[in-house]
């Protein structure tokens, strides 16, 4: 099955700096790559996703890039703010008739220091 | 829509007791997922349903765990008998059918088995 590796496990940045989180996946058939943000004690919430037919997607201060050849994708957060502090999870799935099974990475704890 | 609704939000129970977690998916969603989150193992998919039918329960840790979905608006995850190692946050999530992969999580049920 699919295996998703996420790095780093923790990331500390100064407010205003950029943060980059990287994920690799094993199954070349995966074609959907969402990113979830989980604040302490809260549920994971989708912040951005990308499908395999595009290489980059942006939404204000966050962007995701995808390299299908190398089987890796990254989350970029620019101009980080203290409220960006959370655990971020990447995931990958194959959209099949059988369903939308997501395999999650291990998570990255991002700390933004004011 | 109120989103995915889970109950109870918090439960503390003694080892050996039966635990029942409940979930109401977002109205109209065809897929329902049960995830378990722990520090050691991250987010694990336990089981998922499509149109109330269990599709893949390979993530269910052992026979003490069972899940049902008697109708489109209700699912349960039962642990009997519970053990301290079952302590975790259990998330229910739902999504629309293929082509709409976004998975929406509930607030989670925080289970502590003492």
- pLDDT tens-digit profile of A76-112? 999 999 999 999 999 998 765 555 578 899 999 999 9
* pLDDT digits 0-9 by tens, B88-98: 999 999 988 65
Give the tokens for residue A30.
């995966």
The answer to whether B105 faces chain A, any CB pair under 8 Å, is yes
Distance CA B114, CA B104 (A): 30
Among candidate residues A78, A84, A92, the one with its CA nearest the CA of residue A110: A84
Give the best residue of A96, A99, A109 to mutate against chain B (max B CB count within 10 A).
A99
- Asked if A101's CB is within 8 angstroms of B42's CB, the reply is no
Question: Taking residues B43-66, what's their average pLDDT?
Answer: 91
For B4, name the nearest residue in chain A, comparing CA atoms only.
A43
Nearest in space to A56 (alpha carbons), one of A46, A64, A44: A64
pLDDT at A102: 83
Residues 5-44 of A with CB under 8 A from B: 32, 34, 36, 42-44
Q: Please, which pLDDT band fits residue A14 given cuts at 50, 70 and 90?
A: very high
pLDDT in tens, A21-55: 999 999 988 888 999 999 999 999 999 999 888 88
Contact A33, A49 (CB under 8 A): yes
Stretch B80-104: mean pLDDT, rounded? 86
Neighbours of A1 (CB within 10 A): 8
Q: How far is B42 from chain A (nearest CA, A)?
A: 6
**Which of residues A11 and A53 earns the better pLDDT score?**
A11
SS3 B51: coil
């Amino acid at each position: 099955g699919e295996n998703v590796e996420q790095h780093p496990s923790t990331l500390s940045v100064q407010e205003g700096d950029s943060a980059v989180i990287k994920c690799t996946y094993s199954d070349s058939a995966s074609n959907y790559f969402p990113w979830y943000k989980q604040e302490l004690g809260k549920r994971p919430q989708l912040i951005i996703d990308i499908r395999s037919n595009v290489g980059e997607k942006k939404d204000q201060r966050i962007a995701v890039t995808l390299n299908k050849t190398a089987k890796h994708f990254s989350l970029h957060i620019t101009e980080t703010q203290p409220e960006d502090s959370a655990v971020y999870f990447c995931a990958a799935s194959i959209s099949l008739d059988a369903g939308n099974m997501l395999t999650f990475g291990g998570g990255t704890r991002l700390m933004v220091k004011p | 829509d109120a989103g995915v609704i889970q109950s109870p939000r918090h439960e503390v129970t003694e080892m050996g007791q039966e635990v029942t977690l409940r979930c109401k998916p977002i109205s109209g969603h065809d897929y329902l997922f049960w995830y378990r989150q722990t520090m050691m193992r991250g987010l694990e998919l336990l089981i998922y349903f499509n149109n109330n039918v269990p599709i893949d329960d390979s993530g269910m840790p052992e026979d003490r765990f069972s899940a049902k979905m008697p109708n489109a608006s209700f699912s349960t995850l039962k642990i009997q008998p519970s053990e301290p190692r079952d302590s975790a946050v259990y998330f229910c999530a739902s999504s629309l059918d293929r082509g709409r992969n976004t998975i929406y999580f509930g607030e989670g049920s925080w289970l502590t088995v003492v």
